[in-house]
Chains A and B, each alone.
With several copies, the nearest count.
Chain A
Amino acid sequence: MDARSKGEVSLVDGAIDHAALLASVAAPDAGATVLFLGTTRRHTGDVVTERLEYEAHQPMAVRELARLRNEAVSRFSLAGCGIVHRLGVVGVGETSVAVATAAAHRREAFAAAEWVMEEIKRSVPIWKCDESAVGDRRWVHPEAVFDGGAAP
């Protein structure tokens, strides 16, 4: 981890403290800070979601998140980057993932936060189970072939 950049990665069981995450990436040479929050939404097409449940291979997920964080720092010249993913049950309107990036200029801060989110969805061993209002449970395993991009 780049000693000059701020922020960490973590998996948490309860509500994500996004104010603390923002504070953790603050730096005097950061002119731009971006916070992304992924929240459980009620409707996806015709499907009504009641809550989501997240599960992870925790040691691999933490390591992969740290790798993404460090790659984002060097790729986008960030002053800070932090990622928090919540596990367990996440109700509608609650936050499952938070990414904060800080950079000298806004383009890098935006691009880095978007890139980290793309990569989380592509390569970090975390899964969600969609629980509908009528009680159906469905683990989500997208059909696209796992491309091994996460391999070292």
Chain B
Amino acid sequence: MVVVNLFAGMAESAGTRRLDLEWTGGSVADLRRRIGDRIPAIAELLARSAVAVGTSYAADTDHVPGDADVAIIPPVSGG
């Protein structure tokens, strides 16, 4: 199972800060599709977001292990 942590407008649109998804491993791109299918309301923002596996940014081709802790990082607005 992969844990997906959501923040800010993405958590608000999804109505949750955390998604638990059945997952036996796959690419970041695969995981993006799974998340978008599960919560269409965040698909647009997800496409503009970075993905971190653990606390490291990951490319779409990177592998996400079956027990990963993942964070979706939408465009930032601190300062």
| Direct A/B contact, Cβ within 8 angstroms | yes
Residues of B close to A24: CB separation below 8 A: none
B2-36 interface bits toward A, Cβ cutoff 8 Å, 1 = contact, 0 = none: 00010111001000000000000000000000000
Query: CA of A121 to CA of B78 in the docked complex: distance in angstroms?
Result: 5
Tell me the residues in window 128-152 of chain A with beta carbons closer than 8 Å to chain B beta carbons.
Answer: 128-129, 137, 139-146, 148, 150-152
Q: Which residues of A are found within 8 Å of B49, using beta-carbon distances?
A: 146
Task: Using A57-B71, A141-B48 as known contacts, say yes or no to A121 and B77 having CB atoms under 8 A apart.
Answer: yes
**Any chain A CB within 8 A of the CB of B68?**
no
Residues of chain A lying within 8 A (CB to CB) of residue B7: 55-57, 125, 127
Complex Cα distance A150/B79, Å? 16
Would you call B78 and A97 a contact (CB within 8 A)? yes
CA A21 – CA B74 in complex, angstroms?
Answer: 29
Verify B76–A123 contact, CB threshold 8 A: yes
Query: Which residue of chain B is the closest to A96 with respect to CB atoms?
Result: B79
Q: Is A12 an interface residue (CB 8 A)?
A: no
| Cβ-defined partner of B55 (8 Å) among A63, A85, A144, A145 | A63
Give min CB distance, B71 to chain A, whole Å. 6
Contacts A60-B73, A151-B50 hold; do A141 and B78 have CB atoms under 8 A apart? no
Given that A57-B5, A57-B71, A140-B77 are contacting pairs, would A145 and B57 also be in contact in the complex, using a CB cutoff of 8 Å? no
Query: A127–B50 contact, CB under 8 A?
Result: no
- Chain B stretch 23-77: residues in CB contact (< 8 A) with chain A: 45, 48-50, 52, 55-57, 59, 71, 73-77
A117 to B78, CA, bound (A): 9
Q: When each residue 93-120 of chain A gets 1 if its CB lies under 8 Å from chain B and 0 otherwise, what string results? A: 0001100000000000000000001001
Q: How far is the CB of A124 from chain B (nearest CB, A)?
A: 5
CB of B52, distance to nearest CB on chain A (Å)? 6
CB-based nearest A residue for B8:
A127
> A124 touching B9 by the CB < 8 A rule?
no
CB distance from B19 to the nearest CB of A (A): 15
Q: How far is the CA of A142 from the CA of B74 in the complex (A)?
A: 9
Cβ–Cβ < 8 Å partners of A120 in chain B: 78-79
A-B contact pairs, 9 of them (CB 8 A): A54-B78, A56-B7, A60-B52, A60-B73, A126-B77, A127-B77, A139-B9, A146-B75, A152-B57
